[in-house]
Structure 1
Amino acid sequence: MSEGMRPDRKSPAARRPLRALAGVATAVAVSLALPPAVAQADQPDAAGAQTVVGELVQTWAEAGPAGHAADDAPAAEHAPLTWVEGADGEAVRIPTEAAAGLPVGATVEVTVGGQLTDPAAEQGIEPAHDLLEAALLRSGPGAEGTPGGALTNEVTVVRVLPPGGQEDGTSLEQLVSVVDDEVAGFWSEQTDGGIRLGVTATAPGWVQATVDCSTPTLLWNEVAAAVGFRDGPGRHLLLYLADSAGTDCAYAMGEVGAGPGAGGRLYVSDLLPSVIAHELGHNFGLGHSSGHQCDGAVEGGTCRTTAYRDYYDVMGASWDRLGALNAPQAATLGVLPPSAQVALPADGATTTLTLAPLAGRTGTRAVRIADPEGGAYWLEYRAAAGRDGWLDSGDNRFMLQSGVLLHRTGAMPDTSLLLDGTPAAAASWLGDLQAALVPGVPVSLSGGDVTVTVTDLGAGAATVAVTTTARAVPRSAAPAPAHPRVLAGSTPETSDSAADAPAAGDDVPGGPPAAPVPAGDPVAGASPAGVLQAELSEVTVQTSTGNRGGSLVLAAAGLAVTALAGATVARLRRVRRGA
């Protein structure tokens, strides 16, 4: 770590040379049939058309911690945003649904027309331009490679004053300490040393930004140029934004990379370790740990998927506890070793297994159950031990249960879905955070093809019995989540209804009442930094009737994308279509 920046760092304009390759023999130019834009163009004719060559970048902008979108806001307001970022750092926004055939992170050539009116533009984001033509010139770079030395991931930290922002007294030493100690320690522990991150460069003073957060790529590029940051595998640029009240900056934002070694950019407005760890999780390729609730059932009927609703997990809601990375997220990241998991096929057998606590580092800590309909379920045992020791302490402010949890794999933006093992009626969804399976009660999944029963629950182990139906997995089964490179942030999208609005006295706007809170619970009067960033808001991203579960796929975009509380910007290196 050094107080000054490395002299060999290049300007952002040189970090990814983007050339027009249409006439080069090695280029693959793929013309795409583009669907019509959903919004109306301000300039419907092609008189003002322009051609742009650059890297396809995705962003996700959401409300800040001081508020959230209207409860009746349409889902279109929370769709991912797509940009083409040229070599000069300038970016042009295009409709995401119109660019569904373009892989994010690739070099593309697009012809755009007039500006469009859409919800994002109405909320202060730079307007999109009508996409008239597009061609794929070159696929994006991979995620292989990490910097040499003891660290796998090098972090450059910079304190930034956005336009209109004020210094808030946060010292460089505080910022470095949070990253080097708590955040680095968490990711090293959760990956058994596979991810070793640390601060390797800093800027000693506050950097005054001249561009705002409406186009996050421009903000990152300006700061990178000011401090000499050079983008590359395993390199992360972390901006701490000073008090930005009244600005258009999100609570937090981070890129979702192609894997742990891809590197990425992020910003936060809080020193809460879980927020920084969450954003880096996006850099490493993870989406959100969300919740899936059905009306009186574990699966089936009227259901909803709510972003961030896995309060146990770092990739769910961020608060002052930093629980162990859940099983499907660890598997997606490639850090759940074979010795720690058992995979059960759909073979018609009944299997009884003993689960060790997930937060431990020994024994069988996860069970993967193949779903005959495609995808997979995961079982894990959350016990008050190790990283999850807070479960039986006064720090468990949301009264989360110890016990066996049931997840489904998902695609971006929700790469993990926590199913409700004690389902409540829809009217009680908001305050229902009890999700552990009830011992002795069989749970039917996948339309009866899978049955799970917790047969014993002890302090150090849980026993589960799993019965599957022999059935071939269809060829259309959902693929395992990819590691796209996306930008993700931290703030809620919207609630299901006006009933989800915060009650008077809630400490975070949109914060769900976490079961009955006993007198003296620290939630009362807590500062936003000690609660769920803005993720306490009930963020419903899918409501369905007859939906058995599974992953939310943004069909209009056709791309794997992620959302995070605040503003989520995602820059995908690779993208895989959902089921």
Structure 2
Amino acid sequence: MRLHRNPPAPRRPLRALAGAVTALALSLTLPATAARAEEAAGPSTVVGEIVQAWPEAGPAGSAAEAEHAEAPLTWVESPTGEAVRVPTEAVAGLAVGSTVEVTVGAHVPDAAGQEGFEPARDVLGAQLLQEAPEARAARVAGLTNQVTVAMVVPAGGRRDGATLAQLVAAVEGPVAEFWSGETDGTVRLGVTAAHDWLQTTAGCADPTALWNEVADRTGFVPGPGRHLVVYVSSQPRDLPGCSYALGQVGAGVGAGGRVYVRDVLPSVITHELGHNFGLGHSSGHQCDAAMETGACRTAPYRDYYDVMGASWREVGSLNAPQAAQLGVLPPSAQLPVEAAGPATTVTLAPLGSRAGTRAVRLTDATGSTYWLELRAAVGRDAWLGATGNRFGLDSGVLLHRTGRMPDTALLLDGSPSPAAGWDDDLRAALPVGVPVPVAGGAFTVTVDAVTATGATVTVVPAAGAAVPVTPLPETDAAPQVLAATPVASAPDPVAAAPATPAAPAGVAAPAPVVAAAPAAQEVPAAPVVTGMQLVEPVPAAVRTASRAGWAAPAAGAAGLTALVLAGWGVTRKRGVRAGD
């Protein structure tokens, strides 16, 4: 392998590509001439690493929010840095990051090829040669994670108004503070090298070539705990192949990885580094007027409390299942309750307090895991009680379920709406004083009381689940893009929000309703992944009146703090909220 190749991450099955791939197109492919020559020569053998990537669209609230890929793309990347795209489902048994020998044949048509990617090659045979290696980072100069940042104008682009100082300030300031605080110092990242504007011959259509060229010109050498964060100019906004952001998924906090972003919004950079650490998305799971039975859907990015959900100005505390996956939720902060255990009453401390019992972990007889946590206007979640709560999110006890990649944390709706109201329902807290069946009745959870300093919760296990819950999709869903409109010069949405919300042009239709299916055993925890790449869209729940999409940040010190959602309005089940 070339020194600047990063080990990729475990594969995830294919979900149908969204029609809006143009804005988030992503391709790691051989040059067209080479691909045509190979096809003309018949079947050929490729030896290399399995690499997967999801393109991510824009931040929460913008027209770009709906522009997201709904399936991973897959390549076999050779030691020379070249890559051949293959159908994801054709290599479903091979883990991302592993070294394989694949025999490929003729080109096969698919949606990505129709969007301008190099065509995928048919897989005639595949053999695993080596499992993905484990990576561990060494602490250097007090840092566990060293970050090289670079400003880049890709082929076909032009410089925008962002500055190297803004990028460095974002990474060394709010991004580093978030990960240090949420991991209790397990992650200490900092910028160890910074490079101003570079013009590359590679474009976004081949992110591997782009990252490799930047690595060569900056001296970046990948390895455990080493991250390359590339700011790709946002001009022109619709540059072919350029996603809003792209992050390689690693095997853990020490894996390192590559990222590019087209915005200096701290939550976006924080989110992409979360993928480097091995996290998938924090999404929403909604069922038709029920908690988890009947017709259900998984709505990517729909956990607005969490940085691994929709990207916007607030990042909130890392939710319990994501913290547990990283291994940074200590035993002293969580209370386990088994399906066969006794009734338990616990006082939950606010998640943002960073002290006390902050999570209750429920494990049913099938191994499915649920988490109770209290969100209150405390610490990093203080915005819940201020005008920063743009989306009117609840304070209260939330219920999450551990999911599979790409949605490794699922926020369940504690006060579920009928399917027709899903898009407008961002209220998720469990009601006070109402027994709520969880895991089909394996547990009954009652929130007895909620105060500003804690919540009393009673959990009563039952002998077994009387009502089968609707199983999660058999094939793993792909992350989607969060669309917001970070415009440095935009007025504060508190004052500028329109009275009547309007849907942006091109907003994708809600995810299809999944009919109830026979109960199936859930994978208890998402497997750790390495080297996957993701790109983010914005959930349909956010309806923005602005059709400007996201724009390049203005130069100057005010650029970071002014990156906020502009022109949004959300209709919720408790009425229309045009602003705070």
Question: Identity rate of aligned residues, in percent?
Answer: 55
1:236 corresponds to which of 215, 227, 247? 227
2:245 corresponds to which of 242, 248, 252? 252
Residue matched to 1:27:
none
How far residue 136 of structure 1 moved from its aligned partner, in angstroms, is: 1.1
Which residue identity lines up with residue 213 of structure 1 in the other structure?
Answer: C
Residue matched to 1:206:
197
How far residue 270 of structure 1 moved from its aligned partner, in angstroms, is: 0.6
- Per mean C-alpha deviation after superposition, the further-off stretch among 368-377 and 558-567 is 558-567
Tell me, what secondary structure is at the counterpart of 2:253? coil
Residue matched to 1:14:
3
Tell me, what secondary structure is at the counterpart of 2:460? strand
2:81 corresponds to which of 86, 89, 97? 89
Which residue identity lines up with residue 123 of structure 1 in the other structure?
Answer: E
Change (3 A) 1:45 1:105: closer
2:212 corresponds to which of 221, 232, 235? 221
Count of residue correspondences: 485
TM-score in terms of structure 1 length: 0.77
Tell me, what secondary structure is at the counterpart of 1:254? strand
1:317 matched to 2:310: yes
Change (3 A) 1:53 1:256: same
2:417 corresponds to which of 403, 421, 424? 424
Aligned-CA RMSD value = 3.5
How far residue 543 of structure 1 moved from its aligned partner, in angstroms, is: 3.4
Q: Distance in 2 between matches of 1:207 and 1:551?
A: 47
Query: Contact 2:54–2:533 at 8 Å: present in 1 too?
Result: yes
Change (3 A) 1:16 1:309: closer
1:347 matched to 2:340: yes
Q: Distance in 2 between matches of 1:395 and 1:387?
A: 12
Tell me, what secondary structure is at the counterpart of 2:227? strand
Query: Contact 2:48–2:99 at 8 Å: present in 1 too?
Result: yes
1:546 matched to 2:538: no
1:398 corresponds to which of 378, 386, 391? 391
1:524 matched to 2:497: yes
Tell me, what secondary structure is at the counterpart of 2:220? coil
Tell me, what secondary structure is at the counterpart of 2:222? coil
How far residue 87 of structure 1 moved from its aligned partner, in angstroms, is: 1.4
How far residue 52 of structure 1 moved from its aligned partner, in angstroms, is: 1.3
Query: Contact 1:452–1:466 at 8 Å: present in 2 too?
Result: yes
Q: How does 1:446-465 map to 2 (within 5 A)?
A: 446-465=439-458
Q: Distance in 2 between matches of 1:17 and 1:257?
A: 9
Query: Contact 1:183–1:276 at 8 Å: present in 2 too?
Result: yes
Q: Distance in 2 between matches of 1:329 and 1:549?
A: 23
1:463-511 Cα distance to aligned partner (Å, 9 max, x none): 0000112459xxxxx99xxxx9x9x986269xxxxxxxxxxxx969xxx
1:173 matched to 2:165: yes
1:322-359 Cα distance to aligned partner (Å, 9 max, x none): 10000000000000011100011111521100000001
TM-score in terms of structure 2 length: 0.77
Which residue identity lines up with residue 42 of structure 2 in the other structure?
Answer: G
Query: Contact 2:247–2:533 at 8 Å: present in 1 too?
Result: no
Q: How does 1:328-343 map to 2 (within 5 A)?
A: 328-343=321-336
Residue matched to 1:48:
42
Q: Distance in 1 between matches of 2:522 and 2:280?
A: 11
Change (3 A) 1:46 1:447: farther
Q: How does 1:66-77 map to 2 (within 5 A)?
A: none
How far residue 43 of structure 1 moved from its aligned partner, in angstroms, is: 11
Query: Contact 2:368–2:523 at 8 Å: present in 1 too?
Result: no
Tell me, what secondary structure is at the counterpart of 1:112? strand
Query: Contact 1:406–1:421 at 8 Å: present in 2 too?
Result: yes
Tell me, what secondary structure is at the counterpart of 2:352? coil
Residue matched to 1:114:
106
How far residue 67 of structure 1 moved from its aligned partner, in angstroms, is: 5.5
Query: Contact 2:150–2:197 at 8 Å: present in 1 too?
Result: yes
Q: How does 1:145-156 map to 2 (within 5 A)?
A: 145-156=137-148
Q: Distance in 2 between matches of 1:258 and 1:539?
A: 33
Query: Contact 1:251–1:489 at 8 Å: present in 2 too?
Result: no
Q: Distance in 2 between matches of 1:117 and 1:448?
A: 46
Q: How does 1:492-531 map to 2 (within 5 A)?
A: 521-522=494-495, 524=497
Change (3 A) 1:339 1:464: same
Q: Distance in 2 between matches of 1:178 and 1:48?
A: 49
Query: Contact 1:492–1:539 at 8 Å: present in 2 too?
Result: no
Q: Distance in 2 between matches of 1:562 and 1:138?
A: 21
Which residue identity lines up with residue 491 of structure 1 in the other structure?
Answer: V
Query: Contact 1:407–1:416 at 8 Å: present in 2 too?
Result: yes
Tell me, what secondary structure is at the counterpart of 1:61? coil
Residue matched to 1:59:
53
Q: Distance in 1 between matches of 2:93 and 2:291?
A: 35
Q: Distance in 2 between matches of 1:191 and 1:166?
A: 38
How far residue 522 of structure 1 moved from its aligned partner, in angstroms, is: 5.0
Query: Contact 2:281–2:479 at 8 Å: present in 1 too?
Result: no
1:135 matched to 2:106: no
Runs of 4+ in 1 over 3 A off after TM superposition: 15-18, 41-47, 62-71, 536-543, 547-553, 558-564
Tell me, what secondary structure is at the counterpart of 1:78? coil
Which runs of no fewer than 5 residues in structure 2 stay unpaired?
8-16, 18-34, 466-470, 487-491, 499-503, 539-580
Q: Distance in 2 between matches of 1:269 and 1:550?
A: 40
Residue matched to 1:307:
300
Residue matched to 2:187:
195
Which runs of no fewer than 5 residues in structure 1 stay unpaired?
1-11, 19-37, 473-477, 494-505, 509-518, 526-533, 568-579
How far residue 101 of structure 1 moved from its aligned partner, in angstroms, is: 1.4
Q: Distance in 2 between matches of 1:169 and 1:492?
A: 22
How far residue 114 of structure 1 moved from its aligned partner, in angstroms, is: 1.5
Tell me, what secondary structure is at the counterpart of 1:255? strand
Residue matched to 1:491:
481
Residue matched to 2:563:
none
Which residue identity lines up with residue 340 of structure 2 in the other structure?
Answer: D
Which residue identity lines up with residue 370 of structure 1 in the other structure?
Answer: T
Which residue identity lines up with residue 95 of structure 2 in the other structure?
Answer: P
Q: Distance in 1 between matches of 2:292 and 2:480?
A: 28
How far residue 228 of structure 1 moved from its aligned partner, in angstroms, is: 1.4
1:80 corresponds to which of 62, 72, 76? 72
Which residue identity lines up with residue 155 of structure 1 in the other structure?
Answer: V
How far residue 85 of structure 1 moved from its aligned partner, in angstroms, is: 1.0
How far residue 550 of structure 1 moved from its aligned partner, in angstroms, is: 9.3
Which residue identity lines up with residue 398 of structure 2 in the other structure?
Answer: L
